[in-house]
Chains A and B, each alone.
Chain A
Amino acid sequence: MRKFMPGLRKAAPQLVSLGVILFFNWLAFPGFFDLRIQDGRLFGSLIDVLNRGAPVAILAIGMTAVIASKGVDLSVGAVMAMAGAVAATMTVAGHPPPIVLLSALAVGVACGLLNGLLVAVLELQPIVATLILMVAGRGIAQLITEGVIVTFNDPGLIFVGTGAFLDLPMPVVLAAALALLAVLVVRRTALGMLIESIGVNRSASTYAGINSRLLIIIVYAFSGFCAALAGIIAAADIRGADANNAGLWLELDAILAVVIGGTSLLGGRFSILMSVLGAIIIQAMNTGILISGFPPEYNLVVKACVIILILLAQSASLGGVAWLPRRIPAAKSKEA
């Protein structure tokens, strides 16, 4: 228990805001915390928050690693559309689900590798490098679906989006499994620390013997993988691939989730679980606005206000007032 205390204290602002949001949701809709089991699956608003938040949470897991390496991946929304398009068209063409899933994931990894090569080898700014795929990716997705919304009825693929495992919706299970796996890999090995050191100072890390080029490529490939997984879930959820709207603006939600989770956009210290928490906070907010009867138009305004509040809070806690000398982000030891 004592081991978890520092982590809990660090997560206090996020946990408190989640609590406040859930409390308001409960005020607006007294049945918010009701859970029931029907047709072998849990139902209830709380589960709904987790289920709807799963794609952004998955994106945020990959995005956390990228942002920790002092990068950003703007292409995840477009990669989602591409992976969904590949999955749908291959299913319609009659390929079995395992091959479909593997190919869609491979597309995501390939996109990530491209981003990683641009950032690590050509040394482009991450915003620019991933902007290319963000612009072109949706066009390529349209090319794959030939401009129509491809719908499918394959139960194997639909299961990924709407099925249930251990009474929990499949997207939640996938997001949780991915988060657990990612945390184990980055925190039980030196990988997380190496990524943080690249994010703090890439050239110093390279001089210290870290293969920063390879690591950056891996980080972007991982982000592409996460995006593809989220894209498959989104496509399976609506039983169709919509190249125009799948994953639209989700890159911004994913970045927002990472920022709410407390990972600095300037790279360095990161926490995957906190980013997932950030994604859940965003979704709790969205759901709250919907069930409280506010018009959904207020959604964006509320989101903007929350970002501004978080920026103010972060800036105040860093003493980031312009006339003070800027504090150099020190490479703090990991504790997540």
Chain B
Amino acid sequence: MSSRLLPFYATLAIFVLAYGVCVFQFPNMLSTRVAGNLLTDNAFLGIVAVGMTFVILSGGIDLSVGAVIGFTTVLIAVLISWYGIHPLAAFAIALAISTAFGAAMGVVIHYLDVPAFIVTLAGMFLARGMAFVITTDSIPIRHEFYTTLQGLYLRLPGGGRFTLIGGLMVLVFAFGIALAHFTRFGSYVYALGGNKTSAELMGVPVARTTIGIYALSGFLSGLAGVVFSLYTSAGYSLSAVGVELDTIAAVVIGGTLLTGGVGLVAGTFMGVIIQGLIQTYIVFDGTLSSWWTKIVVGLLLFAFIALQRLLVVLSDRKRLLRNTPT
């Protein structure tokens, strides 16, 4: 079991090391301001990554998350600015729609037995397309409730701000960890990702669990959309393009196996924060261009996948040695 947690420890070590290097170079990075901003700037990515962790743990993939975030921001902006609906009601409507959308994809994946990859690809086109159909303009959100929400923060010692959306991300991660490790649903997800056939034979309700997983991912994408609209005070159909890739990268860097069955929600948190750290470093440096983020994330992805592969090979060999009568 401990070897399965090795990728998580490796992520943790890399994070500590990377943060150490950053602080060594720019002592100002060791401040609560930077820590608070890391949480705030990556809040939507973290929230959506929790949902993606469950999807990947179950052996699936959800390519629609970025498009659902974009759709949600547009929907909320239109409901508030054009129809004068109270933001809380708009949030409820958006979350209901995104959850239903995820559940519908789960239904198609399970009952039609189509690869999750292609179903969520269609979902991505559909969500992005619906956002375009509503409007292609960027709609600003001006509402005193939004200003109130954006002004809410805890002042940390040292001048840092622990904002509402950063706190929401931490809450979602706590909820995700509890759901994965202390509920029946969580163990069903791990069982499904380990081996679908044996899970089914052991009595795991595959249909309900699959639909639940994608509904959860849809709900969290919607929530990330809410956070994104709070973060930018606008709704735009092209927002969060490519976030699905950042999310998958965060989950993999966090030590979750893409084959499913192995991984930790807490690891995903580290994956998100490491990506945020790279961006913060680039901002602090000032001479590097932002495309270095992509290259470094790509290299990290490769390193982690290679590490996981190595561990699997090693554990297979060990098992083989143990089972061979000598």
> Is there a chain A Cβ closer than 8 Å to B299's Cβ?
yes
> Is there a chain B Cβ closer than 8 Å to A44's Cβ?
no
Query: Which residues of A113-153 have CB atoms within 8 Å of chain B's CB atoms?
Result: 122-125, 127-129, 131-140, 142-143, 147
What residues on A are CB-neighbors of B291 within 8 Å? 138-139, 142-143, 147, 243
Query: Which residues of B209-245 have CB atoms within 8 Å of chain A's CB atoms?
Result: 245
- The residue in chain B whose Cβ has the minimal distance to the Cβ of A308 is B122
Contact assessment for A138 and B122 in the assembled complex, using a CB-CB cutoff below 8 Å: no
Contact assessment for B125 and A125 in the assembled complex, using a CB-CB cutoff below 8 Å: no
Q: How large is the interface on A (under 10, 10 to 19, 20 to 34, 35 or more residues)?
A: 35 or more
How many residues belonging to B are interface residues under a CB distance threshold of 8 Å? 44
B117, B118, B299: the one contacting A136 at CB < 8 Å is: B299
Q: In the complex, what distance in Å separates the CA atom of A50 from the CA atom of B136?
A: 28
Interface majority SS (helix, strand, loop, mixed), chain A: helix
Query: Which residues of B56-98 have CB atoms within 8 Å of chain A's CB atoms?
Result: 61
Contact assessment for A301 and B130 in the assembled complex, using a CB-CB cutoff below 8 Å: yes
A138, A299, A307, A322: the one contacting B118 at CB < 8 Å is: A307
- Distance (whole angstroms) from the CB of B309 to the closest CB of chain A: 6
Contact assessment for A138 and B294 in the assembled complex, using a CB-CB cutoff below 8 Å: yes
> Is there a chain A Cβ closer than 8 Å to B128's Cβ?
yes
Binary interface encoding of chain B residues 101-137 relative to chain A, with 1 for a CB under 8 A from any of its CBs, else 0 = 0000000101111110111011111101110110010
B108, B245, B259, B292: the one contacting A311 at CB < 8 Å is: B108
The verdict on A132 contacting B301 (CB below 8 Å), with A127-B61, A127-B258 known, is yes
What residues on B are CB-neighbors of A243 within 8 Å? 291
Contact assessment for B113 and A303 in the assembled complex, using a CB-CB cutoff below 8 Å: no
> Is there a chain B Cβ closer than 8 Å to A304's Cβ?
yes
Contacts between the two chains (Cβ within 8 Å), count: 125
The verdict on A147 contacting B301 (CB below 8 Å), with A122-B309, A125-B258, A139-B295 known, is no
- Distance (whole angstroms) from the CB of B83 to the closest CB of chain A: 20
Q: In the complex, what distance in Å separates the CA atom of A143 from the CA atom of B294?
A: 11
> Is there a chain B Cβ closer than 8 Å to A255's Cβ?
yes
Contact assessment for A297 and B119 in the assembled complex, using a CB-CB cutoff below 8 Å: no
What residues on B are CB-neighbors of A305 within 8 Å? 126
> Is there a chain A Cβ closer than 8 Å to B12's Cβ?
no
Q: In the complex, what distance in Å separates the CA atom of A142 from the CA atom of B288?
A: 12
> Is there a chain A Cβ closer than 8 Å to B150's Cβ?
no
Binary interface encoding of chain B residues 288-306 relative to chain A, with 1 for a CB under 8 A from any of its CBs, else 0 = 0101111101110110011
Contact assessment for A326 and B113 in the assembled complex, using a CB-CB cutoff below 8 Å: yes
What residues on B are CB-neighbors of A128 within 8 Å? 252, 258, 301, 305
Contact assessment for A321 and B111 in the assembled complex, using a CB-CB cutoff below 8 Å: yes
Contact assessment for A301 and B129 in the assembled complex, using a CB-CB cutoff below 8 Å: yes
> Is there a chain A Cβ closer than 8 Å to B13's Cβ?
no
> Is there a chain A Cβ closer than 8 Å to B207's Cβ?
yes
Contact assessment for B305 and A127 in the assembled complex, using a CB-CB cutoff below 8 Å: no
Contact assessment for B128 and A139 in the assembled complex, using a CB-CB cutoff below 8 Å: no
What residues on B are CB-neighbors of A256 within 8 Å? 121
A139, A259, A303, A322: the one contacting B110 at CB < 8 Å is: A322
Max count, chain B CB within 10 A of own CB: residue among A147, A252, A301:
A301
> Is there a chain A Cβ closer than 8 Å to B265's Cβ?
no
- Distance (whole angstroms) from the CB of B120 to the closest CB of chain A: 11
What residues on B are CB-neighbors of A140 within 8 Å? 295
Contact assessment for B128 and A300 in the assembled complex, using a CB-CB cutoff below 8 Å: yes
> Is there a chain A Cβ closer than 8 Å to B248's Cβ?
yes
Contact assessment for A298 and B305 in the assembled complex, using a CB-CB cutoff below 8 Å: no
B128, B129, B301: the one contacting A131 at CB < 8 Å is: B301
What residues on A are CB-neighbors of B125 within 8 Å? 252, 300-301, 303-304, 307
Query: Which residues of B128-176 have CB atoms within 8 Å of chain A's CB atoms?
Result: 128-130, 132-133, 136
- Distance (whole angstroms) from the CB of B307 to the closest CB of chain A: 11
Q: In the complex, what distance in Å separates the CA atom of A137 from the CA atom of B113?
A: 32
- The residue in chain B whose Cβ has the minimal distance to the Cβ of A298 is B133
- Distance (whole angstroms) from the CB of B211 to the closest CB of chain A: 12
Q: In the complex, what distance in Å separates the CA atom of A307 from the CA atom of B112?
A: 13
> Is there a chain B Cβ closer than 8 Å to A156's Cβ?
no
> Is there a chain A Cβ closer than 8 Å to B249's Cβ?
yes
Contact assessment for B122 and A147 in the assembled complex, using a CB-CB cutoff below 8 Å: no
- What are 18 pairs between A and B in contact, CB < 8 Å? A127-B61, A129-B305, A133-B298, A142-B291, A265-B118, A297-B129, A300-B125, A300-B128, A304-B122, A304-B125, A307-B118, A307-B122, A311-B114, A311-B122, A315-B114, A320-B114, A322-B113, A326-B113
Q: Which 8 A-B pairs have the closest CB atoms?
A: A136-B298, A300-B129, A139-B294, A297-B132, A301-B129, A304-B126, A142-B291, A304-B125
